[in-house]
Amino acid sequence: MNKKSSLLTPLELKIMNILWRLKKGFLKEIVEAWPADPNEKKPHHNTIATTIRILEDKSYIEHETFGRMHQYSPKMSRLDYQKKLLTNVIENAFSGSATSLVSALMDNDKVSNEELNEIQDLINDSKKE
């Protein structure tokens, strides 16, 4: 798979979630914003720095240079990534069928009645356009 078209690893996604929340951040700010999880050890500073460089290679983030420091920001929005991920899941795990995806969610009780109503409203609104 081409680096520029690849999906995010769990570590890359954590960094992206931090950057989407911060909008911009230096390495130190990204490390400090790392979510506390008692079941998971925070990655070493160098691991985060290396992963940031990988994200740049994949064109998910970009940086602005201030002297010897880089301030990173997302190049791809969270919504664009969600669309890319969902398209990949539908194509590869559900043979291109969005109906199969929704059916799997329903079978696993992953969609509440409130969410179903919201989805129906979205469908109705898109039909009006």
26 in a domain, yes or no? yes
DSSP-based three-state secondary structure for 82: helix
Residue 129 pLDDT class (50, 70, 90 cuts): low
Q: Residue 1: its pLDDT value, please?
A: 40
Name which residue leads in pLDDT, 84 or 101: 84
Instruction: Identify whether residues 64 and 119 lie together within a single domain.
Output: no
DSSP-based three-state secondary structure for 10: helix
87 in a domain, yes or no? no
Structural domain span for residue 118: 95-129
88 in a domain, yes or no? no
How many structural domains comprise the chain?
Answer: 2
- Condensed to tens digits (0 to 9), the pLDDT of residues 13-62 reads 999 999 999 999 999 999 999 988 888 888 999 999 999 999 999 999 99
Instruction: Identify whether residues 68 and 7 lie together within a single domain.
Output: yes
Instruction: Identify whether residues 50 and 12 lie together within a single domain.
Output: yes
- We report the CATH number of the domain holding residue 67 as 1.10.10.10
Q: Please, what sign has the CA dihedral across residues 119, 121, 122, 126?
A: positive
Q: Is the pLDDT of residue 105 over 70?
A: yes
Instruction: Identify whether residues 69 and 117 lie together within a single domain.
Output: no
User: Taking the chain, what is the end-to-end CA distance rounded to the nearest angstrom?
Assistant: 36
38 in a domain, yes or no? yes
Q: Residue 72, Cα to own-chain centre: how many angstroms?
A: 16
Mean pLDDT of 92-106: 87
Weakest mean pLDDT among 38-52, 67-81, 87-101, 106-120? 106-120
